[in-house]
Amino acid sequence: MKNQSVSSSIDWITILLYIILVIFGWMTIYSVTVPADQEYTFDFSQNYGRQLMFMIITIPIIFTILFVDSKIFERFSLVFYIVGILLLLGLFAFGVTKKGQTNWYQFGGFGFQPSEFVKTAVALLMAKYLSDAQVNLAKRNFQYIAFAIIGLPVLLILMQPDAGSAMIFLSLIFVLYREGLPGWYLWTGAISIATFLLALIVKPVFLISFVAVFMVIHYILNTKISRNPLVYLIIFISISSFAFSVSYVYDKVLEPHQKDRINVLLGDDVDMKKEGYNLNQSMIAIGSGGLLGKGYLEGTQTKGGFVPEQHTDYIFTTVGEEWGFVGNLLVMSLFVCLFIRILYLAERQKTRFSRVYGYCVATYLFTHFFVNIAMLIRLFPTIGVPLPFFSYGGSSLWAFTIMLFIFIKLDANKVNEW
């Protein structure tokens, strides 16, 4: 009977979107990793074969999640979190270093990236913390604890160093905002990023003059908020100093490869054969797809292996090349539907725990999605984050599956919450 209750109460739309994305993802991995002369054959030692095994392993994981008591996730959230933190700490002793990042455990043939799972743990603990009716994010003390929950793993991940994964955690600020964090945090963040980018593009002097003019006009037109000149002055000074410090940091502090990434993004004289190679090849692959693409398994750039890491972080370039703009539109629509569906379900939840967790899931997935695609088409600096359900890798697939299905389980259980 319980079986039936689960199957009748889970959200099949989400599951359907998940299945479509995973299968389409696997087809794309197949196209990237099958050798050109072995099409239509199958070999488990190839990456597409391994990915298929990873996918098969998700089935018991999904069933386990769907059939355990949903209370476990709330009750043991702190345990999960601590385990996660320990795993991150353990990396410094037992981790494997790949491309300068110590973020893997290696068990025989299988790699395991704890930061993928820590995302879920953080989401669970955050949900658990915010589900306490006492917690009010408008107040400083609670804000500090919430920040600490995020901050601890971010710190450890930054030490690996893996800026991309760390950045994903920062996106939880949207969840905190949903749960009552004052809006000026977001504004400050947005303005900082904007200032940062603008400071690199135009000279700080021009930027500051522009800000000054803007603020004067704002002061004159502003009638609602208290017109305290001191506030304006403080804001102005902080923006100016930030803008100048960006220039300074860029010139004196950043490592050459970090500078390269920013230069590549801004299109400043970049050698397309060296630091610009990845991005250049990625754009060529996507751009050559045209409206309808070159056809499945027909991507010349994909077959030629011109795009590096094409089965992991650059997987979406194959979609762009072989399926064209129409394929991109389709895949992106599926993703957006999934995000919106999760958010819709989250808002429907009876408990704050489920709602916060659902929000976390949607935020995580969206941030991965946006950062991953934006970096392929020069809208974002090159940061290695996987595209959920598409990128090759067991850790990533399992982590996203677990993350999503815990929410599906929570959602299915909302009836029993009373």
Partner 1 sequence: MRKTLLPTIIIVSSIILLVRLFYLQIIDDTLKIKSENNAIKIKYDFPERGYIYDRNGKLLVANQPSYDIMVVPSEVKNIDTLEFCRILQITKDEFLKKIEKAKVYSPRLPSLFLAQLNKEEFAAFQEKIRKYNGFYIQKRSLREYQTKHGANVFGFITQVNDAIIAKNPYYKSGDLIGRQGVEEAYEEILRGVKGVKYILKDKHNREIGSYKEGKFDTIAQQGSDVTLSIDGDLQKYGEELMVNKRGGIVAIEPSTGEILALVTAPSYDPALLVGRQRSKNYTRLYNDSIAKPLFDRGLLGEFPPGSPFKILTGLVGLQEGVIDTETSFICRHGFSYGRGSFMKCHCPGGVIKLHFGIYESCNSYFANTYKRTIEKYKKPKDGVNAWANHLKSFGLGNFMGYDLPPGRKGHIPTSKFYEHFYPNGGWRSTTIISNSIGQGEVSMTPIQLANMMAIIANKGYYYTPHIIKKIKGRKIDSKYTTKHVTTIERRHFEPVINGLFDVYNMGTAAGLRVEGLEICGKTGTAENFAKINGKRVKLQDHSEFVAFAPRKNPKIAIAVIVENGYWGNRWAGPIATLMIEKYLNKKITRKDLEKRMLEGNLNFEYRKLYTSKDSLHKPKLTKEDSIRMKIKSKKEIEEDKKKAKLAKDSLKKKAA
The residue ranges that bind partner 1 (CB under 8 A) are 36-37, 174, 177-178, 180, 281, 283-291, 298, 300-301, 303-306, 320, 324-325, 328-329, 332, 335-336, 339-340, 343, 347, 359, 362-363, 366, 370, 373-374, 377, 379
Considering the complex, state which of residue 211 and residue 313 has its C-beta at the smaller distance from partner 1: 313
Considering the complex, state which of residue 93 and residue 291 has its C-beta at the smaller distance from partner 1: 291
> What is the full DSSP assignment across 59-86?
HHHHHHHHHS-THHHHHTHHHHHHHHHH
Is the CB of residue 179 less than 8 Å from the CB of residue 130? yes
Two tokens, residue 229: 């000149």
Phi then psi dihedrals of residue 96, to 5 deg: -105, 135
Q: How many CA atoms lie within 13 A of 41 on its CB side?
A: 10
Q: Report, in Å, the least distance between residue 3 CB and partner 1.
A: 34
Q: Report, in Å, the least distance between residue 183 CB and partner 1.
A: 8
Q: Report, in Å, the least distance between residue 327 CB and partner 1.
A: 10
Considering the complex, state which of residue 289 and residue 384 has its C-beta at the smaller distance from partner 1: 289
- Any idea what DSSP says for residue 171? T
Query: What are the residues facing 111 on neighbouring strands?
Result: 106
Task: Tell me the C-alpha distance between 411 and 250, whole Å.
Answer: 46
Considering the complex, state which of residue 16 and residue 374 has its C-beta at the smaller distance from partner 1: 374
Q: Report, in Å, the least distance between residue 26 CB and partner 1.
A: 22
Q: Provide CB contacts within 8 A for 272, sequence distance 6+.
A: 280
Is the CB of residue 66 less than 8 Å from the CB of residue 409? yes
- C-alpha 281 chain-centroid distance: 23
Q: Report, in Å, the least distance between residue 1 CB and partner 1.
A: 36
Is the CB of residue 153 less than 8 Å from the CB of residue 118? yes
Considering the complex, state which of residue 101 and residue 328 has its C-beta at the smaller distance from partner 1: 328
Two tokens, residue 81: 């979190």
Q: Report, in Å, the least distance between residue 127 CB and partner 1.
A: 16
Q: How many CA atoms lie within 13 A of 237 on its CB side?
A: 6
Considering the complex, state which of residue 70 and residue 302 has its C-beta at the smaller distance from partner 1: 302
Q: Report, in Å, the least distance between residue 363 CB and partner 1.
A: 7
The CB density around residue 257, as the number of other CB atoms within 10 Å, is 10
Considering the complex, state which of residue 178 and residue 311 has its C-beta at the smaller distance from partner 1: 178
Task: Tell me the C-alpha distance between 365 and 373, whole Å.
Answer: 12
Q: Report, in Å, the least distance between residue 156 CB and partner 1.
A: 26
| Closest by CA position to 121, among listed 132, 129, 131, 133 | 129
Considering the complex, state which of residue 50 and residue 178 has its C-beta at the smaller distance from partner 1: 178
